[in-house]
Amino acid sequence: MKTATLATALTRRVGDKAADYAAHPKRTVAAEGGGAAAAPQTIAVPDGEAFPVLTLEIHRDLETLLPIWQGFEQEAHATLFQNSLWCRAWLETAGARLGARPVIVAGRAAGRLCFLLPLQTRPRQGLRVLEWLGSPNHNYGYPLLAHGFAAQAGEWFAAHWHLLLDAAGGFDAVALTANPAEMFGRPHPLAGWRTLSGADPSFALALEPEFETLLHRKFGNSLSRQRRRKEARLAQLVDTSFGLPANREEAHTLLDTLFAQHAQRLSERGVPPAFGPDEKRFFHRILDLQDEAAPLLHLYRLTLDGAVVAMLAGGVQAGTFWALMTSLAPGHMRRFSPGDMVLRRTIEACCERGIARYDFSPGDFSYKRRWANEATESFAILAAANLRGLLWASAMLLALQAKRRIKRTPVLYRAAQRLRLWLFRRP
């Protein structure tokens, strides 16, 4: 996008209320009650449009919506990052520290829930910005969609986006980032409001009930035999164990191990730790809240001779395992390639559990390309509600464009990595 068209591209996203009201003359807004949450807003779509009449409910209190959300997520299209437990834990920890306030839009037709749009406002550089709930600690921005509504969701959001943002209110700018261009076999329902493409693609793998069938499909029989021989030789040398924690206490201990190993691995590459105290409390809060019999957060660990040498953390939602982070212990055990082994064993465990899909998360790495049979780009939606918001969104747009250019240009990316390493190692 050229800088000359920047203002037009951003200001057309929000706030043309006159045009919005003209397009929806039958819209009625219920009077707001005395509580903190906005009253439901009814949209009567003009005759001839192929959309149901929806009632929009703007929820600013998570607790009142939780029972409905928990039921809806069991059957809706949704990623891990729109799970109610994930969002609740984030708001109680990292989100509280950042001053995030939930703005959750529920869309109903004839009383039936069609979608939940989990958003938040958060202070950024002196403004309030409307984002996906959980930002910046989310890999994907996506609504929860009822299966019967998913096919027309893109058209509906394209036609009613201004109205929805008008109902949400209370923000200066919009920054909806990390939106996968395609998910669950369909384009993202907000793709019509794309501002620019993201820097990082994401990758996924369709699983098989039998892991050996999957290996053969991806790599042929030779790799399957090679894997079995390698792991058999390893078992003769060291005591090998793989699995999940036995209880909540062990899960907390393993989570701390993962954070320590992850930070150590990043420091070797000249990268500062990815998780601060608030983010660590967030993940520990998930462990506290989740049902041990059906956990949201899965911490797979590989031990060699009793020592945890590699870990892989992820969560399960909508028949998909969503990988979050991996870790690798320092030391001589790395010669056994424990990182590759924990990935293989985790994918195998997902196959055994009947999980249909493994999402590798955003980021372009060679191991993801070797395993994946799906790839999708990401995009961002930036918008402004006023002049201050326009200035902020313009700066954000330029920053995201620069990030994409650096990551997609090998020479620039290598230079940026060298600079980051130099800065990180300065006394």
- CATH numbers and ranges of domains, the chain: 3-198+378-424 (no CATH), 204-375 (3.40.630.30)
- In whole angstroms, give the CA distance from residue 159 to residue 390: 22
* Segment 367-389 mean pLDDT: 96
Asked if residue 200 lies in contact with residue 407, where contact means CB atoms within 8 angstroms, the answer is: yes
Q: Picking from 99-108, 224-233, 242-251, 326-335, which range would have the lowest pLDDT averaged per residue?
A: 224-233
Classify 121 as helix, strand or coil: strand
HEC string for 338-401? HHHHHHHHHHHHHHHCCCCEEEEEECCCHHHHHHCCEEECEEEEEEECCHHHHHHHHHHHHHHH
pLDDT in tens, 195-208: 999 999 999 999 99
Across the range 85-90, mean pLDDT stands at 97
Question: What are 132-157's pLDDT values in tens digits?
Answer: 999 999 999 999 999 999 999 999 99
Beta strand 378-384 pairing with 196-197: antiparallel
pLDDT score, position 50: 58
Contact (CB, 8 A) for 77 and 102: no
Nearest C-alpha neighbor of 56 from the set 21, 103, 104, 107: 107
Given a cut of 60, whether residue 75 has pLDDT beyond it is: yes
Q: Can you read off the two tokens belonging to residue 133?
A: 């709930």
Does position 73 have pLDDT exceeding 90, yes or no?
yes
113-131 pLDDT per residue, tens: 999 999 999 999 999 999 9
pLDDT value at residue 53: 63
In this prediction, residues 188-193 reach a mean pLDDT of 95
Question: Does residue 89 surpass a pLDDT of 90?
Answer: yes
Q: Which residues contact 60 (CB under 8 A, 6 or more apart)?
A: 36, 37, 38, 101, 102, 103, 104
Measured in whole angstroms, the distance separating CA 72 from the mean position of its chain's CA atoms is 18
Q: Which residue has the higher pLDDT, 289 or 336?
A: 289
Distance CA 156, CA 371 (A): 35
Q: Which residue has tokens 């940026």?
A: 416
Residue 46's pLDDT is what?
42
Average pLDDT over residues 272-286: 94
For the chain, percent of residues with pLDDT exceeding 70 = 85
Q: Which residues pair with 107 in a beta bridge?
A: 56, 115
User: pLDDT tens for residues 291-312?
Assistant: 999 999 999 999 999 999 999 9
**Residue 51: its pLDDT value, please?**
62
Report pLDDT for 223.
67
The chain-wide mean pLDDT, for the chain, equals 86
- 8 pLDDT higher than 80: no
Question: Which of 22-31, 97-106, 281-290 is least confident?
Answer: 22-31
User: What is the average per-residue pLDDT within 222-234?
Assistant: 73
Span of 35-44, 50-59, 271-280, 313-322 with lowest mean pLDDT: 35-44
Phi then psi for residue 224, to 5 deg, are: -60, -45
Query: Each residue of 36-66: pLDDT tens digit?
Result: 444 544 444 443 455 666 788 889 988 889 9
What's the half-sphere exposure (Cβ side, CA atoms, 13 Å) at 426? Answer: 6
Between 127 and 162, the more confident residue is 127
Query: Is this prediction's pTM over 0.75?
Result: yes
Give residues with Cβ within 8 angstroms of 201, minimum separation 6.
Answer: 362, 364, 375, 376, 377, 378
Q: Provide the pLDDT for residue 314.
A: 98
